[in-house]
């Protein structure tokens, strides 16, 4: 892992994500190194030669926030990294940013796949409107380990449980939803006592991620390869169109708050 400290002037950027006004990213790169990651474009933007998941730029800034845009604004922390990756334990960049943001009144969404977020529970509890999003797409840790480097599923679920116990609004993000592999009903059954809401993000693949995931499917789930090829090489969306209808029906029938 190549770690570099970089000096930056700011850590907040305008967002083009639907429903999000600003994004806050404390790092460039992500040690979680998920095979399906949608943020690998940051590798080229930051001129890194290393593989995604093999570099981390730590954003050092002396910049102190005096004011931020707050009225009805939603901030997402983070969109192209995991702000609670394991190096955060040492660098505390995310904690430092949160301690500056806490005095402002806006909607904050913190997205992570790591239990380190619990270290900052004291601060997170001080925000008036905060939601925490934890992502998983399987309960099978063997499958998870093939696709992501960090953080066992049980740890993520325990983290969500602890957050809920502390009255934090919790969102379980079933993401990315793997065609024919993600058993969303099983996930909901196991987590419905401590997830306030579910989000569903279907697997999208581009460039290198498409090559890697299709190879992984071909090597490990040969029977599914043609189905994946239909979706990701022939752009046939029928599977997801039908799945969307099925999920909506399931959530409505079971009184589950959801977003697809
Ligand atoms: S945790 Fe998110 S940003 Fe990090 S590698 Fe995985 S998908 Fe990409």
| Secondary structure class of 76 (helix, strand, coil) | strand
pLDDT at 79 over 80: yes
Phi/psi at 134 (nearest 5 deg)? -115, 130
The contacts of residue 188 (CB under 8 Å, 6+ apart) are: 195, 198, 254, 256
pLDDT at 116 over 80: yes
pLDDT at 69 over 80: no
C-beta of residue 230 within 8 angstroms of C-beta of residue 236: yes
Q: Whose CA is nearest to atom 8 of ligand 1?
A: 37
Token pair of 172, please?
């379980």
CA of 35 to the centre of ligand 1 (A): 9
pLDDT in tens, 148-178: 988 999 999 999 999 999 999 999 999 999 9
CB 136 near ligand 1, within 6 Å? no
User: How far apart, in whole angstroms, are the C-alpha atoms of residue 239 and residue 180?
Assistant: 9
pLDDT at 66 over 90: no
C-beta of residue 251 within 8 angstroms of C-beta of residue 174: no
Q: Helix %, strand %, coil % for the chain, to 5?
A: 35, 20, 40
Q: What is the pLDDT of residue 213?
A: 97
Token pair of 230, please?
């239909």
Percent with pLDDT over 90 in the chain? 87
What integer is the mean pLDDT of 73-79? 94
CB 133 near ligand 1, within 6 Å? no
C-beta of residue 31 within 8 angstroms of C-beta of residue 91: no
**CA distance to 33, 77, 230, 260, per residue, from 131 (Å):** 24, 10, 36, 17
CB 182 near ligand 1, within 6 Å? no
pLDDT in tens, 121-141: 999 999 999 999 999 999 999
What integer is the mean pLDDT of 186-191? 98
Percent with pLDDT over 70 in the chain? 100
CB 94 near ligand 1, within 6 Å? no
In 3D space, the residue among 89, 94, 172 whose CA is nearest the CA of residue 138 turns out to be 172
pTM: 0.95
Task: For the chain, list the domains and their CATH numbers.
Answer: 2-206+237-259 (3.20.20)
pLDDT at 44 over 90: no
């Amino acid at each position: 892992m190549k770690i570099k400290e970089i000096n930056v002037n700011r850590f907040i950027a305008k967002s083009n994500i639907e429903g999000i006004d600003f994004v806050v990213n404390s790092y460039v790169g992500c040690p979680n190194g998920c095979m399906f990651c949608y943020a690998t474009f940051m590798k080229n933007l930051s001129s890194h030669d290393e593989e995604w998941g093999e570099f981390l730029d730590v954003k050092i800034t002396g910049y102190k926030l005096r004011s931020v845009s707050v009225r009805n604004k939603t901030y997402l922390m983070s969109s192209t990294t995991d702000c609670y990756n394991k190096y955060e334990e040492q660098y505390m960049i995310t904690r430092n940013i949160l301690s500056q943001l806490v005095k402002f009144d806006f909607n904050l969404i913190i997205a992570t796949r790591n239990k380190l977020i619990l270290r900052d529970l004291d601060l997170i509890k001080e925000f008036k409107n905060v939601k925490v999003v934890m992502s998983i797409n399987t309960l099978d840790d063997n499958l998870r380990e093939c696709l992501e480097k960090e953080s066992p599923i049980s740890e993520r679920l325990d983290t969500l449980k602890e957050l809920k116990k502390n009255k934090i609004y919790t969102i379980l993000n079933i993401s990315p939803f793997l065609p024919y592999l993600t058993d969303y009903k099983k996930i909901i059954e196991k987590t419905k006592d401590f997830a306030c809401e579910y989000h569903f993000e279907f697997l999208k693949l581009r460039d290198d991620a498409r090559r890697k995931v299709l190879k992984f499917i071909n090597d490990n789930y040969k029977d599914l390869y043609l189905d994946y090829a239909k979706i990701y090489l022939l752009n046939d969306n029928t599977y997801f169109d039908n799945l969307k209808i099925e999920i909506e029906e399931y959530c409505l029938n079971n009184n589950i708050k959801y977003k697809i």
